[in-house]
Structure 1
């Protein structure tokens, strides 16, 4: 496919895979929007290969995780050196990396997240959880900042972009505890589970729902802390980019807050944010973006920070 065809493929991928990201991406200017779609297409495809999914749907335990990881590594390596891969999502990665000057270490960091899952990752402590969140989402946040024109030398803004990715992933983990459990995964740290006396492998037993709800609230609180720090990075962006980022931030921390609010019933059905609420948050984000230079740059002291 040529670039225009890759963009169409990526647009269709985000439409099928994430209504929230698709809605936020519409706020970007054309060039940034296309590049965001191209990057998303690679992330979505690699995740689908790793988990045997179709655009994020139907995750289940896979019997050939090492082979799937090897395929992701092979295709990513080809894309990064500009070689055709025969997979449009990986070709899309090659395009956006070249156009935006994204360091190859960043997509490789994301692939390391898939390697963690392939190896049966289970965090023992909170630091393990944050390291995982960096690999599967924080590094993507850093790449997205570069797509929006943030330079590789602006470490503080890139840290805040990483914060936003981590906030998104913490919200996803809180929302998807039930789905992850069905696939044989658990991203709640061992010491957290021990603290509330939930035995390993029994996360979703009805007996323990109220205890898991306590941990989901903790995830939501941490997501909000990283999201609050991330907002300060909006000052480095143009209006449309800041509008999109602030809208996405509201949507995903909204998911985390809703999971926390529903308590024991948070996993009776998948938590989603309705169109009307998304529009309201989008309007609020537009006003904040117009005054983005006034958004306070909250001190990040105490927050987990990406590796240098």
Structure 2
């Protein structure tokens, strides 16, 4: 598949899959935007395959054996994409293009798939710290890969990129509590459910909405220091990348604030942002990106969850053979 065909596929993917990210992606310079959209297409494809959905919509319950088969195939094709094997799916062609162009850590695509493995296994999370580990796998690592697309290599700046992924995923979880329960998934910390007297199987019960709203509010509050940490890293990005990132963060943070403000009615209609709100986020993002150049850098809060640190020469023991070879 030619570069133009790959990009056309990726453009269709982001236009249908996420209007929020589509809006923010237009603010990148053309070179960065191309790679960001290609990376999104691979992430979106993997998510859709595991959830049995299309462009992020209409998730269904999939038998564990079938989900495991799908995950194994995603791992196999990702392995091929990071090597020189023949590809037939444009989503994996997109990953190969971006990984080669920007020198990805070969662990990171497999870290994302590990998050999907946790979904397939129906893993539960005892504490917020446990949940943040999951958030790293399905969103924080995407922040790392996106940061590499923007030219980031410094560990401290990568930490900030991961923080934004964590914040966005906490927002997603709060917004989608009832929807996730409909496909037999619950990401809420068990400690929080027990404290509110909610049994795991009763999360979506109407009589639990008041207690559920308090838990959602706690998730939104937990996301705030991660949004703040990510904002503090904007100055290290090229200004148009900073603008795009700040806009995406403002859109997502706004969704979280809506969830909290709606209380027990947060799940009556899916919380989203309208055109006017997106335009406001674009303007606010521009101000944040520009003003970050003159703000004093704040050290990252040592109390925040810390992403895994690895020696780049050490491959994951569970990664496929080609990826292990690429890491050496």
- Higher relative contact order (CA closer than 8 Å, sequence separation 6+): 2
Report deviation, 1:291. Answer: 2.2
Q: For the residues of structure 2 that align with 1:301 and 1:41, how far apart are their CA atoms?
A: 33
Q: Figure out how many residues of one structure are paired with residues of the other and give that number.
A: 306
For residue 28 of structure 1, give the secondary structure of its aligned residue in structure 2.
coil
Residue 265 of structure 1: aligned partner: 265
Range that drifts further, 55-64 or 76-85: 76-85
Residue 246 (str. 1) matches residue 243 (str. 2): no
2:88 to 86, 89, 100: 86
Range that drifts further, 53-62 or 290-299: 290-299
Residue 42 of structure 1: aligned partner: 42
Residue 280 of structure 1: aligned partner: 280
Q: For the residues of structure 2 that align with 1:102 and 1:162, how far apart are their CA atoms?
A: 15
Range that drifts further, 130-139 or 1-10: 1-10
Report deviation, 1:298. Answer: 5.1
For residues 217-261 of structure 1, the C-alpha deviation after alignment (integer angstroms, 9 at most, x for no partner) is 011111121010011111111111000000001000111111011
Q: For the residues of structure 2 that align with 1:185 and 1:85, how far apart are their CA atoms?
A: 32
1:118 to 107, 117, 120: 120
Residue 302 of structure 1: aligned partner: 303
1:130 to 101, 123, 132: 132
2:76 to 74, 77, 100: 74
Checking the alignment, whether the CA contact within 8 Å between 2:177 and 2:186 is kept in structure 1 is: yes
Structure 1 stretches of 5 or more lacking a match? none
Checking the alignment, whether the CA contact within 8 Å between 1:181 and 1:203 is kept in structure 2 is: yes
Give the root-mean-square deviation of aligned CA atoms: 1.0
Checking the alignment, whether the CA contact within 8 Å between 2:250 and 2:284 is kept in structure 1 is: no
Q: For the residues of structure 2 that align with 1:75 and 1:297, how far apart are their CA atoms?
A: 41
Q: For the residues of structure 2 that align with 1:87 and 1:204, how far apart are their CA atoms?
A: 37
For residues 163-213 of structure 1, the C-alpha deviation after alignment (integer angstroms, 9 at most, x for no partner) is 000111111000000110000000001111001110121001111110010
Report deviation, 1:280. Answer: 1.1
Checking the alignment, whether the CA contact within 8 Å between 1:80 and 1:94 is kept in structure 2 is: yes
Paired residues for 1:29-178 under 5 Å: 29-63=29-63, 64-151=66-153, 154-178=154-178
Tell me the TM-score normalized by structure 1.
0.97
Checking the alignment, whether the CA contact within 8 Å between 1:231 and 1:297 is kept in structure 2 is: no
Residue 189 of structure 1: aligned partner: 189
Q: For the residues of structure 2 that align with 1:7 and 1:113, how far apart are their CA atoms?
A: 26
Checking the alignment, whether the CA contact within 8 Å between 1:35 and 1:96 is kept in structure 2 is: yes
Paired residues for 1:8-47 under 5 Å: 8-47=8-47
Q: For the residues of structure 2 that align with 1:254 and 1:20, how far apart are their CA atoms?
A: 11
